[in-house]
Amino acid sequence: MTPDLLDDWWRAAAAGALAVAVGLIAYYAARPIVARVTRRSRVLGAVLVRMHTPLRWVLPLIALQLVWQAVPESLAGIEAVRQVNEVLLIAALTATAIGAVRGVTDSVALLHPHDVADNLEARSILTQTRVLSRIAIGVILFAGVAFILMTFPRARQFGTSLLASAGLSALVLGLAARSVIGNLLAGLQIALSQPIRLDDVLIVEKEWGRVEEITGTYVVLKIWDERRLVIPLQWFIEHPFQNWTRTSSQIIGSVFLWVDYTTELEPLRAEATRLARGSKDYDGRVCLLQVVDTNERAMQLRLIVSSPSAGQNWDLRCLLREGLIGFLQRTQPHALPRVRAEVEGLPPLALQTPSSEERLHEVSTSAQPLPGAPARVNDDTGMASLTAPTGGVPPRHAPR
């Protein structure tokens, strides 16, 4: 390297260092203003908080790019330096754009909190925002990578050749990535039509759970026992499923009981109403007890009761089931299901159960004393016990 070239590089490096210093000074000078705006506006503050880290690199890189563009073309190696700076600047700008999108998502979440009782509209807006933000982030990443590749001459030539055969390339790409593209389109359709939303209660593949997360390609369903069910977005477009909170979280549940035909239903209805009104999980809309089925041995009762949400309805149904069983045990024990049988061909006395006095008389008269054995009466029971005489026949269970 000649002395003149070395001097040129030293001057360029000094100009670059000065540009970096100016960019950092501008960044740190703007931080108090950003902090003041953040304190006054939570929405704008959420956006700026997401953007402040990549902006720390964007300003110095922009200043450096201006310096490198001013350097003469005759300086050896300046093209490589410019290209590296362009790649870093595009990456920083891409990160800033992604941070801005995430900041907008956070600000929407602040404006529409979903941890309230009536959160249907909030969940709808949050679902659209999150799905669309993930699609936007994917587009930004794709554009950033494309711009970085376009800084390389060979990649630019490759892109030109692809444009020449765009129809065939699009067909091959579509066939290879049809599942990915299908999920992306399904995510866009779900964001617009909203068959599901965040925190919706779903029944999917006979599993009960809440929508915990909606990404650009799949949905995470949190099962009641803390398991997670991951389902592709396209599955919701092609298969039926149950959404218990589509328009409202209110729900009606059922409690079934089998009881005997002799059961008095009015006291049972009154007890069900009393138990429901005494529970915080009852919303006062429906509490109805009806006979819905019968067979040769018993009748089936169905109690339907309403609650503000599915979880509360489950707790209320368990409470009513336990309470009604206990009520039947206390007040109508004969109401429990029983098996009836009619026996024919036996004398009437055979069907009668002897009383305790009759059993005692039978035992006392059937215990005949052994020959020569004195009878001794037990003072506590009034029953006769026998004692074998000396030298006689020993008792059956006496030790030999």
Q: Which residue type does 332 have? A: Q
Burial 59-88 (b: 16+ CB within 10 A, else e): bbbbbbbebbeebeeeeeebeebbeebbbb
Angle subtended at Cα 61 by Cα 59 and Cα 62, rounded to the nearest 5 degrees: 65
Give the bridge partners for 291, in sequence order. Answer: 301
Residue 272 confidence (pLDDT): 95
What distance, in Å, lies between the first and last C-alpha atoms of the chain? 124
**Residue owning tokens 């339907």:** 304
Q: What's CA 320's distance to the chain center, in Å? A: 26
> What's residue 79's pLDDT?
76
pLDDT for the residue numbered 209: 92
Across-strand partners of 375? 386
> Residue 394: its pLDDT value, please?
40
User: Residue 87 and residue 172: Cα distance in Å, rounded?
Assistant: 29
**What ranges do the domains of the chain cover?**
3-111, 149-247, 251-335
Tell me what pLDDT residue 343 has. 72
- Within 8 A by CB and 6+ apart from 279, the residues are 316, 319
Least Cα distance to 92 among 131, 58, 140 occurs for 58
* The pair of three-digit structure tokens given for residue 3, joined into one six-digit string: 């002395």
pLDDT at position 363 is 43
How many Å apart are CA 1 and CA 9, to the nearest integer? 10
Q: What is the pLDDT of residue 165?
A: 52
In the prediction, which pLDDT does 164 show?
Answer: 52
Q: What is the CATH number of domain 149-247?
A: 2.30.30.60
- Class at the top of the CATH hierarchy for domain 251-335: alpha beta
Contacts of 39 (CB under 8 A, 6+ apart): 45
| Residue ranges of the chain with per-residue pLDDT less than 50 | 1, 166, 350-351, 359-400
pLDDT of the residue at 180: 65
Q: What is the CA radius of gyration of the chain?
A: 42
Largest CA distance in the chain: 146
Angle subtended by helix axes 166-176 and 153-164, to nearest 10: 90
> 3-state class of 301 per DSSP?
strand
Task: Please give the model's pTM, rounded to 2 decimal places.
Answer: 0.55
Retrieve residue 109's tokens.
């979440």
